[in-house]
Structure 1
Amino acid sequence: MAVAHRTAHALPARRRPEGVWQKLVERIVSHTVLITFSVIFMIPFFWMVSGSLKTGQDLNAFPVVWFPKTLTLENYIAGLQVFPFVRYLFNTLVICVFSMIGAVLSSSFVAYGLARIEWRWRTPLFVVILSTMMVPFYVTMVPLFTMFRAMGWTNTYLPLIVPHFFGVPFFIFLLRQFFLSIPRELSESARVDGANELVIYWRIILPLAKPALAAVALFQFLTSWNDLLGPLIYLSDADHYTLSLGLTFFRAEYSSQFGPLMAASTVVVLPVIVVFFFAQRTFIQGITLTGMKG
C-alpha cells in the first residue's frame, strides 16, 4: 500500500514537465500565428506610410524599395495644399461628436427601459428592435433621402446626426446586456430612498456603465469617421465634405500621383489609430462586460 501510495504521488510529478512543455509549445504556436497575421495586415499600412515619405523615384523603383532612401515631406506639402484637411477635419468632428452623443444618450435610455423596468411589452419591443438590424441600409436609403429632402435637410449635417438621437439597435443590445448584469438591489435601495427612474438611470446606472458607454461612444465615433455612403448621399457642397468623402474625390482626381495620395490617406487614418490606441483598454473592457448576462 505504501508503494502504491508513493507511485500515485510520483506520476503527476513526472507528468508536470510534459504539461509545462506542451503549454509552452501551444503558446509559441499561437503567438507565432497571431504575429504572422498581424504583420500581414500591417503591410498595407506600412506601405502607405513609407510611400508618403518617399521620393517619386523610390515610389516607381523596381524592384520595390520598402524603406525610403531619402525621407521627404514634399508629398505631405503637395497633398495638403490641394486637400483641405483642416476644413474636412472640422466637418468630420462635428458629425462624429454629435452623433456619438446622440447614440450614447438615446441608446442607453432605451436600453435602461428594456433591462431595468418591468413592463408587459418590453421583450416583444426588444425583438422588434433587433429585427431592424437585419434590414440593410440600401433598402431604406432612397426613402430616407426622399424624406430628408422634403424636410430640407439635404446638404446639411442633420441627416447624419439626428437619427442617432432616436437609438441605435446594436448599441441598445450591447447596453441592455450590460445593464442586466448590474445588481437590482441598487435600484431597489434607491427607490426606497425616494428616487424615481430618471434619477436611478442618471445617478446610479450610467456611472456604473462607463466601460460599456465608452465602447459605444468609440464604436459610433469610428463608424461616423469612416462613413462614406452617408455623406456621399446627403452632402453636395464641397465645403461640407467629410474626410472620407474628400479623400475619395481627391483619389479620383489625383490617382496618378501616388505620393500625395498616400500622404493624404495617412493623415486621414492617423487620428483614428491614435484614438483607438489610447482607448483600447476601455473599449475591450466594455465589449467583454456586455456579454456577462443575457
Structure 2
Amino acid sequence: MTRGQNILRGVVLTVGAVAFLFPFYYMIIGSLQASPDSTPGGAFPNPANLTVENYTDINSRINLMRGLLNSGIFTGGVIVGTLVFGVLVGYALAQLQWRGRGVTFALVLLVQVVPFQLLMIPLYVMIARDYGLADNYLGMILPFAINSTAVIIFRQYFLQVPRDLFDAARIDGAGEVTVLTRIAIPLVRPAILTVVLLTFIGPWNEFLWPFLVTKEASMQPLAVALANYISNVAATAANPFGAVLAGACVLAAPAVLLFIVFQRHFVSTDIGSGVKG
C-alpha cells in the first residue's frame, strides 16, 4: 500500500471515529452545562458554564446508585443464564449425537424470527399472575435467561474445535462433563467473552419488560427510572436537559468501559493451539 493510500485510510478512519464519538462527547458536555445550550456552539461551552449539579439533581430524584444496582443484578442474572444454557445447548448441538438434534437447532433458528413483543403479554400474565414474580429480580430475568443467539454462537465455536481433542479425552476415560469443562470451554473463551459483551447490552438498556413487571421504584433498573424521571419529574427540574443527559452518561458508562476493556479479546482465539499441524 502506497503512502498516499495510508494517509487516505488514516483520514477516513479519523473522520469516522470523530463522527462516532461526537454524540458521546456532546452527551457528556451537555450533562455538565449549568444552562443548556442546544446550538452547535454548545459543543464547545464556556468553562464558567460547567458544573456537576445536574448529577446531584437527578441523583436526588431517582437514586442513581440504586438504579445501577438493579440494572447490574438484572444484567448479571441474564448473563449467567445465557452462558450456562448457551454453553450446554451449544455443546450438545455441536458435539453430541442424539435423535432430534437437527430439529432442535431448527427451532433455535426459528426463535430468531419471533419478536419478543409478540410474547410479551402472555409472558407478563405468566410471570406476574401465575408465578407471582412481579417486582422481583427473578421475574425480570427469566424471559431473557435463554438466548438463542448465544446458543448459535457457541454451537459454531464448538464445531470449530477439532473432534480429535474430544475423542482423545473420551478414550482416556473422561466423561462428557469433564470434556466440556476442561477441554471445550477453555478453547472457546473468545466466544464466552463475545456472548457476555453482546448479552450485556440487551438487558442493560432494556426498558419495556422491566417497566411492565416492576412497579416499585426501588426495584426498577436505571433505564426505567430515567424514563419515569423524564415523564414525571423533568418538567419541574431546574435544568431537565442537563439532568437527563447526566443520567444517560451514568447509564452508558459501564457499557462503554466494558467494551474498551475487552475489545482486544474479540480477535483472539486459542482453538488452533490444541492440535499440532
TM-score by length of structure 1 reads 0.83
1:282 aligns with 2:265: yes
Q: What is the aligned partner in structure 2 of residue 36 from structure 1?
A: 15
Instruction: Supply the distance in 2 between the matched residues of 1:109 and 1:64 (Cα, whole angstroms).
Output: 53
- Secondary structure at the counterpart of residue 173 of structure 2: coil
Instruction: Supply the distance in 2 between the matched residues of 1:27 and 1:224 (Cα, whole angstroms).
Output: 40
CA shift for structure 1 position 63: 6.7
CA shift for structure 1 position 183: 0.9
Q: What is the aligned partner in structure 2 of residue 156 from structure 1?
A: 136
* Same amino acid, percent of matched pairs: 30
Q: Which moves more between the two structures, 31-40 or 112-121? A: 31-40
CA shift for structure 1 position 36: 2.0
Q: What is the aligned partner in structure 2 of residue 268 from structure 1?
A: 251
1:64 aligns with 2:41: yes
Q: Which moves more between the two structures, 33-42 or 144-153? A: 33-42
Query: Which residues in structure 2 correspond to 1:184-203 (within 5 Å)?
Result: 184-203=163-182
1:137 aligns with 2:116: yes
CA contact (8 A) 1:218 1:283 kept: no
Q: What is the aligned partner in structure 1 of residue 192 from structure 2?
A: 213
CA contact (8 A) 1:50 1:68 kept: no
CA 1:35–1:63 in structure 2 vs 1: closer, same or farther (change >3 Å)?
Answer: closer
2:265 maps to a residue whose letter is T
Q: What is the aligned partner in structure 1 of residue 275 from structure 2?
A: none
CA shift for structure 1 position 163: 3.8
CA contact (8 A) 2:120 2:209 kept: no
CA shift for structure 1 position 284: 4.6
CA 1:212–1:72 in structure 2 vs 1: closer, same or farther (change >3 Å)?
Answer: same
Query: Which residues in structure 2 correspond to 1:1-294 (within 5 Å)?
Result: 20-21=1-2, 24-56=3-35, 59-60=36-37, 64-65=41-42, 66-70=44-48, 71-149=50-128, 150-165=130-145, 167-252=146-231, 253-254=233-234, 257-285=240-268
- Secondary structure at the counterpart of residue 64 of structure 1: helix
Superposed CA deviations along residues 193-237 of structure 1, whole A, max 9, x for unmatched, are 111111111121111111111111122222111111111121111
CA shift for structure 1 position 249: 1.2
1:274 maps to a residue whose letter is L
Q: Which moves more between the two structures, 36-45 or 197-206? A: 36-45
Instruction: Supply the distance in 1 between the matched residues of 2:234 and 2:205 (Cα, whole angstroms).
Output: 21
Instruction: Supply the distance in 1 between the matched residues of 2:116 and 2:144 (Cα, whole angstroms).
Output: 14
User: Which ranges of structure 1 fall in alignment gaps of 5 or more residues?
Assistant: 1-19, 290-294
- Secondary structure at the counterpart of residue 135 of structure 2: coil
1:156 maps to a residue whose letter is N
Q: State the number of aligned residues.
A: 264
CA 1:46–1:111 in structure 2 vs 1: closer, same or farther (change >3 Å)?
Answer: same
TM-score by length of structure 2 reads 0.88
Instruction: Supply the distance in 1 between the matched residues of 2:46 and 2:212 (Cα, whole angstroms).
Output: 39
Task: Detail structure 1 runs of 4+ shifted over 4 Å in the superposition.
Answer: none
- Aligned-residue RMSD, C-alpha: 2.1
Instruction: Supply the distance in 2 between the matched residues of 1:43 and 1:91 (Cα, whole angstroms).
Output: 29
CA shift for structure 1 position 266: 1.2
Instruction: Supply the distance in 1 between the matched residues of 2:5 and 2:154 (Cα, whole angstroms).
Output: 35
Larger Rg: 1
Superposed CA deviations along residues 227-273 of structure 1, whole A, max 9, x for unmatched, are 11111121111110101111111122215621222222112211211
- Secondary structure at the counterpart of residue 194 of structure 1: coil
CA 1:63–1:139 in structure 2 vs 1: closer, same or farther (change >3 Å)?
Answer: closer
Instruction: Supply the distance in 2 between the matched residues of 1:183 and 1:63 (Cα, whole angstroms).
Output: 56
